[in-house]
Amino acid sequence: QVQLVESGGGLVQSGGSLRLSCIVSGNIRSIALKGWYRQAPGKQRELVARIGDSDAGSTKYADSVKDRFTISTDNTKNTVDLQMNSLKPEDTAVYYCYIRAGYYIEEGTDFWGQGTQVTVAL
């Protein structure tokens, strides 16, 4: 059984920083994509940052977080981290860790974490 467990969310003042971590466990032979999504109240879930779209090391960021957030991964530990700097109130959301397990993006299986709340106060 595949499990994604997030940690690191919380309350922070505008301009502050938080680091989210996700540990992936279970019977996984390969991961084609890994990343973070978020969902704010009343809005659809959206991509924040993702690794693996074009090649194993390629990264993709939402325009709203470029130059503020950094995604990183440790393949030996199966972790996916998101460093969030210069946080803004509009970053407030539940953040979800995500992977697409498999060798190829087109044929993978999606898994999600339970979510961790990030709240940015004015």
pLDDT band of 16, cuts 50, 70, 90: very high
pLDDT tens digit sequence for 22-38? 999 998 888 999 999 99
Going by the DSSP 8-state scheme, the letter that residue 56 receives in this structure is T
Percent of the chain at pLDDT exceeding 70:
100
Contacts of 7 (CB under 8 A, 6+ apart): 20, 21, 22, 116
Please state, in angstroms and rounded to a whole number, the distance separating the CA atoms of residues 14 and 28: 38
**Sign of dihedral through CA atoms 64, 66, 69, 71?**
positive
pLDDT value for 51: 92
Query: Which of the two residues, 75 and 97, has the higher pLDDT score?
Result: 97
